[in-house]
């Protein structure tokens, strides 16, 4: 399944609307039901309205009624990790899931939400 996720994220990257940064990002998330949801970054002249690929994929899955996630893949030109905002959203929606970072050559780096966001803050902290 990981190869399907990598392919989905790489293909989603081609759809990125990155006219300001020219930094195309694709993401794919797998749900516990086995469905794959893709996302790409969509930029806006009002920079704060830009949405990252990771959040696009997760929001699409949530909108489709999915809320349990098993793996996330992020595809960029150079295999960089998600931004801070995405790290927080990943933690909130997915918990400590495995994350694969893939670059344009197909090289992969395996990590996890807890490695990308140590000492994470979440809903469980609000309940105490």
Q: What is the pTM of this model?
A: 0.93
- CA distances from residue 102 to 9, 13, 32, 75 in whole angstroms, order as listed: 9, 11, 22, 5
Sequence-distant (6+) residues with CB within 8 A of 57 are 12, 27, 28, 29, 37, 38, 39, 72
pLDDT value of position 127: 61
Q: Is residue 96 left, alpha or beta, with left meaning phi > 0 and alpha meaning psi from -120 to 50?
A: beta
Splitting the chain (128 residues) into consecutive groups of 10 residues, what average pLDDT does each group show?
92 98 98 98 95 98 98 97 96 96 97 95 64
Residue 123 confidence (pLDDT) = 61
Tokens for 96, please give them. Answer: 């400590």
Rounding to the nearest 10 degrees, give the CA dihedral for residues 53, 84, 51, 77. -40
Q: In this structure, what DSSP letter does residue 126 have?
A: H
Q: Which of 7, 30, 54, 92 is catalytic?
A: 54
The count of residues in the chain is: 128
Tokens of 127: 């309940």
- Residue 104 appears among annotated catalytic residues: no
Domains and CATH numbers, the chain: 2-127 (3.40.140.10)
Residue 122 is predicted with a pLDDT of 72
How does pLDDT run across 45-56, given as a tens digit for each residue?
999 999 999 999
pLDDT at residue 124, as a whole number: 60
pLDDT for the residue 120: 87
């Amino acid at each position: 399944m990981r190869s399907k996720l990598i392919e989905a994220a790489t293909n989603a990257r081609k759809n990125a609307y990155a006219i300001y940064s020219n930094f195309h990002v694709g993401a794919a998330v797998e749900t516990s039901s086995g469905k794959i949801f893709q996302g790409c970054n969509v930029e806006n002249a009002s920079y704060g309205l830009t949405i990252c690929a990771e959040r696009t994929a997760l929001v699409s899955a949530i909108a489709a009624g999915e809320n349990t996630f098993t793996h996330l893949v992020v595809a960029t030109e150079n295999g960089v990790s998600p931004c801070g905002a995405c790290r927080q959203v990943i933690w909130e929606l997915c918990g400590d899931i495995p994350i694969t970072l893939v670059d344009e050559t197909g090289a992969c780096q395996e990590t996890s939400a807890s490695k990308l966001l140590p000492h994470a803050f979440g809903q469980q902290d609000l309940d105490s």
